[in-house]
């Protein structure tokens, strides 16, 4: 009988230990879930943070005009695209539509085609008349001034030249509506 009592007490102790460990695991899983949901709630960084001012730059447009940060008009849509990027290609129809309806016209839409090689010039030519177009390497003045971290990257600068909105997809960008 004493052996049976010891066995029951031992099984009960193991059950309690198992319960305590299980509660610890559940608590830990809840912490991880909270951390992951916080991380997913924040949009990924594409370029400079909202509220930042782009760095100084000097760059030449496809038309041969020299542009600096002082030349950025108020309420400008800025897009960084790469010919080698599949997601960039998916964004083109909506980008072209938004460029056509952007208040201020082509002067208020800056498209930077990032890359080297024979594909960049024809890719950039697609935006002629719709935007102010630049062709630069990934380490060029415009990608560095805007702190671009991936492609496609879209941004909207407000009336003072401050980054008002950024996104990897143009549909997620808060754009003004043409009047």
Tens-place pLDDT, residues 108-118: 999 999 998 88
When mean pLDDT is compared over 20-24, 47-51, 109-113, 138-142, the highest value belongs to: 109-113
Nearest to 114 by CA among 172, 47, 166, 69: 47
Give residue 4's pLDDT.
Answer: 85
**Which tens digit of pLDDT belongs to each residue from 142-162?**
999 999 998 999 999 988 889
pTM: 0.74
Q: What is the pLDDT of residue 96?
A: 92
């Amino acid at each position: 009988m004493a052996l049976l009592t010891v066995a029951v007490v031992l099984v009960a102790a193991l059950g309690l230990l198992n319960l305590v460990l299980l509660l610890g695991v559940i608590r830990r899983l809840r912490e991880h879930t909270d951390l992951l949901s916080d991380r997913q709630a924040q949009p990924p960084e594409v370029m400079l943070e909202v509220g930042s001012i782009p760095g100084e730059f000097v760059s030449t447009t496809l038309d041969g005009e020299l542009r600096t940060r002082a030349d950025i008009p108020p309420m400008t849509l800025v897009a960084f695209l790469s010919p080698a990027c599949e997601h960039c290609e998916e964004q083109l129809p909506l980008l072209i539509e938004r460029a056509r309806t952007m208040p201020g016209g082509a002067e208020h839409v800056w498209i930077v085609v990032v890359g080297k090689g024979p594909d960049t010039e024809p890719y950039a030519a697609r935006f002629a008349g719709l935007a102010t177009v630049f062709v630069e390497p990934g380490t060029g003045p415009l990608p560095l001034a805007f702190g671009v971290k991936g492609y496609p990257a879209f941004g909207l600068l407000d009336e003072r030249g401050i980054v008002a909105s950024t996104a990897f997809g143009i549909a997620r960008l808060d754009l003004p509506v043409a009047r």
